A and B are shown apart, each in its own frame.
Chain A
Amino acid sequence: MKYFRNITCLIVLFSQLLQGQENVTGTVFARDDTQESIPLQGANVYWMNSQIGTMSQEDGSFSIPFDKEYSSLIISYIGFRTDTLKITKPKNLIHFLTPSNELDEVEVIKKRDALQKTFLSSQNIVNINSDELLKAACCNLSESFETNPAIDVNFSDALTGTKQIQMLGLTSPYLLITQENIPMVRGASQVYGLTYTPGTWIESIQITKGAGSVINGYESISGQINSELVKPFTDPALFVNGYANRNGRLEFNTHLNMKVTDSWSTGLYLHGNKRDTKVDDNNDGFLDVPLGDQINILNRWQYQDTEKGWVSFINFRYLRDDKQVGQTIFDPDTDRFTSNAWGSEIDTRRFDTSIKIGYVFPSLPFQSMGFQVAFSDHQQDSYFGLNRYDIDHESAYMNLIFNSIIGNTQHKFKTGLNASYDGYIENVNQQLFNRIDRSVGSFFEYNFDNLETLSLTAGVRVDLHNLLGTFVTPRFHLRYSPWENSSFRMSAGRGKRAANIFAENQQLFATARQIQLLNTDGKVYGLNPEDAWNYGVSLLQGFTIGNRNGNISADFYRTSFREQVVVDWENPLEITFSNLDGDSFANSFQLELNYELLRNLEARTAYKFYEVKTQYQTGLLQKPLQPRHRFFANLGYVSTPKADGSQWRFDYTLHTIGSQRLPSTETSPQEFQLAAFSDSYSLMNTQITKVFSKQWEVYVGLENITNFTQEAPIVSAGDPFGAYFDTSIVFAPIMGRMYYAGFRFTLL
């Protein structure tokens, strides 16, 4: 009997063992409030994509046949998170389920500010997302900054109406403008380049004040603006935008995105704009805004394999941009290069291509590599009255970055190599200027972050350049948060660049001024490369009053030039380019206050003070057309969206621009003399958007509500071939009140 019992035991044991080999067994537990383990009865246990399933017993135990075909075991129970376990062989499990809050949780969508100031980054970065970009409907990158106080938008000349941007009192050549971290608006595209990126293509913009990172090169002096384009993977399948304004400008954008395979997506983005109505509201015989048309085509390919860690973008872009400006009676076919009538045409053809490859080591999320190559060919053929200016700029750029950590993720570093090539061929009134810039550089940037109060970034790069020589560019950023919701920042850094004097100062061809190059020993047009240091301090303090958030910030930056190409137009008959002999600096102070005044009503205000002085031939003077004081205010109201997505958005912006020093006209005859300073004035814009559904929205807007314009923006408009003709002294809008309307259609 005893013997028999033993055998039974053995058989039972064996059968259990046998079963154990074929089954996955286990127990499902949960924790109660006192953290005691309690077995869960009735939990579902099943193989993913199979019919095989079971339920846990009273004691939480279960047993499910193992099958090699299946490897994902799902355990689910109402009120708990469903877990998926990777099971490759039969075994015994003990599994705890985590209570889920999804059932009784009220979905709280945190409102994301359209304009975000970062409290944690060591650099002073403002992030503009697509919501902010919709505040001012139009049209391209240069117009994206009107609702943002970090960037000032200026008017460059009376002819092209192209808006120039400034940061810290310095114009765009001193800013590094990148697109997805590839330097973009530079060289031949310096003046008009911002108008070559249609607004709808932009996903977000990052503005870094002060010395930037060393990764993208040595050229940034007062800051960096990076724009991210929409991505085929995340952009809606179809997007259409149309826009028309009172000046006869028509604009059309379409985005088409599709998934080609699981990992490949592609997007085709088309932009076209046209203006063929002649407008001359001030009756000076000159067009107030250029006639023009632009066709802009971008094809992007995106590859994404998150499991293996690869991401890649391939871009192809073609641009054709034609502008005609000048007298309303000017007909290019008959009047070109004659003194029948004064006119100008600026025709640009540009091709861009770039490849970006990123790899994140799958088992090491903190380690990654990135590689970028870009090539562009830019050809501009233009004439301004009798002045001719053609530029052909070929550019190649390469960047390799490796990111990793030292010890742990509090100490990160980035290191890598850049190489660039720029070939310029310029024809300035039959005089040829050829130039080739070549450089290779390597960089190392260390970043420390103690996760709370302190972070710093210290970077250095060494470059070998055929014209600029071999030089070191250090950049340093520090952020310290002494108390809650605060960020104190400091930065310092050097920047260096070769000034493309003609490309950057094209508006001066539309004057009767004689161009003079005073120095001839330097490497770039006989001039020395520009070299400057930028220092900055800023304080950002967030606060909450009456349950609504706001922040106040103050910053001061100083840019000090050691070498600069001084563009001197204090003599109305000439323009001279010379090396800096004396002081040149730009001091900028900004005080900004942001607060949610009422529910859904955001206010943004800023006061800015600029002291930008350069040693000209006639003395140390404030830069012409540079207001010392500016005031900015923006009010934005967004109604709470209804269930169908419908809502209203209202936006109002005020710019007050202080008195500006005008270039000296003392030596001109009485009739061509201008005041020493312009009057201060204010500009107001507003826009209303009605969102009908997730698909449809329409907007209307009004720019320059008070209809303020500069009287007689062109000096000697009646005699365009005379010695005092000048279209470059523009300190206020030429275009009066202007209304526009448009729509957006989105298909997800």
Chain B
Amino acid sequence: MKKYLIGLTFSLFTTIAFAQEKNKRIAFEVDGICEMCKLRIEKAAIGVKGVKYAVWDIPSHKLSLIIDERKTNPMIIKTAIVAVGHDTKELKATEEAYLKVHPCCRYRDSTVVKDMH
């Protein structure tokens, strides 16, 4: 019985493994403000191997991606995005990376954000 269960679990895992899509649509939030942020975020995302398409929407802060799941996953992309100074929900950019963005892109600073809107 136990063996049977293990087998079942394994087969479940393998199906998950096989369900990795070549053109998977994913989206998550990335903090940012302006056109300049958009370019920086999209460039960082598209620079990740396996990311085919990246569009960041300024008002909703939503980054829409099409990725090859066999080559990348959302965590790798988020790592690349925080590396250029933009926060995601799970990963936050280091202070060092954050300070590298242009002063008018400082999305953590509420006065900057207010100025933009």
Chain A residues within 8 Å of B, Cβ to Cβ: 33, 35, 81, 96, 98, 101, 104-105, 363-366, 405, 407-410, 451-452
Contact = CB atoms under 8 A, between A and B. Distances in A.
B66 interface: yes
A98 B117 CA distance: 14
A364 B23 contact: yes
Nearest to A101: B117
Interface stretch (B5-13, B38-46, B78-86, B97-105): B38-46
Contacts of B29: 96
Contact of A409 (B23, B54, B59): B54
A92 to B, nearest CB: 18
Contacts of A98: 59-61
A408 B52 contact: yes
B5 to A, nearest CB: 24
B117 A363 contact: no
Given A105-B117, A452-B39, A452-B43, A366 B87 contact: no
A407 B60 contact: no
A81 B59 contact: yes
Given A81-B60, A364-B23, A408 B39 contact: no
A364 B64 CA distance: 12
A101 B31 CA distance: 15
A290 B51 CA distance: 61
A179 B72 CA distance: 43
Contacts of A409: 46, 52-54
B25 interface: yes
A405 B50 CA distance: 12
B39 A364 contact: no
B53 A366 contact: yes
Nearest to A37: B89
> SS class of chain A's interface: helix, strand, loop or mixed?
loop
Contacts of A104: 117
B52 A407 contact: yes
A485 to B, nearest CB: 14
B110 interface: yes
Given A409-B52, A409-B54, A451 B42 contact: yes
B46 A366 contact: no
Contact of B59 (A101, A408, A452): A101
Contacts of A452: 39, 43
A81 B59 CA distance: 9
A104 B117 CA distance: 8
A592 to B, nearest CB: 26
Contacts of A364: 23, 53, 66
A363 B25 contact: yes
Interface of B: 23, 25, 29, 31, 39, 42-43, 46, 49, 51-54, 59-61, 66, 87, 108, 110, 117
A579 to B, nearest CB: 51
30 contacts: A35-B31, A35-B87, A35-B108, A81-B59, A96-B29, A98-B59, A98-B60, A98-B61, A104-B117, A105-B117, A364-B23, A364-B53, A364-B66, A365-B53, A365-B66, A366-B52, A366-B53, A405-B52, A407-B49, A408-B51, A408-B52, A408-B53, A408-B54, A409-B53, A409-B54, A410-B46, A451-B39, A451-B42, A451-B46, A452-B43
A363 B23 contact: yes
Contact of A451 (B23, B43, B52, B53): B43
**Residue of B25, B29, B46 with most chain A CB atoms under a 10 A cut-off:** B46
Nearest to A407: B52
Contacts of B31: 35
Nearest to B46: A408
Contacts of A105: 117
The 5 A-B residue pairs with the shortest CB-CB distance in the complex, in nearest-first order: A101-B117, A33-B110, A408-B52, A408-B46, A409-B53
A227 to B, nearest CB: 29
A35 B87 CA distance: 10
A97 to B, nearest CB: 11
A35 B98 CA distance: 15
Nearest to A404: B52
A364 B22 CA distance: 11
Contacts of A81: 59-60
Nearest to B51: A408
A216 B110 CA distance: 51
Contacts of B87: 35
A407 B66 CA distance: 11
A549 to B, nearest CB: 16
A363 B23 CA distance: 8
**Residue of B29, B31, B52, B61 with most chain A CB atoms under a 10 A cut-off:** B52
A105 B116 CA distance: 10
A365 B23 CA distance: 11
B27 to A, nearest CB: 13
A33 B108 CA distance: 8
A587 to B, nearest CB: 38
B59 to A, nearest CB: 7
Contacts of B25: 363
Contacts of B60: 81, 98
Given A105-B117, A408-B51, A408-B52, 12 more contacts: A33-B110, A81-B60, A98-B59, A98-B61, A101-B59, A405-B53, A407-B52, A408-B53, A408-B54, A451-B43, A451-B46, A452-B39
A104 B29 CA distance: 23
Contacts of B54: 408-409
Nearest to A406: B52
A366 B67 CA distance: 12
A642 to B, nearest CB: 27
Nearest to A33: B110
Nearest to A364: B23
A364 B55 CA distance: 13
Contacts of A366: 52-53, 66
Contacts of A101: 59, 117
Contacts of A96: 29
A366 B46 CA distance: 13
A96 B61 CA distance: 12
Contacts of B53: 364-366, 405, 408-409
Contacts of B66: 363-366
A101 B61 CA distance: 13
Contacts of B117: 101, 104-105
A409 B117 CA distance: 30
Contacts of A365: 53, 66
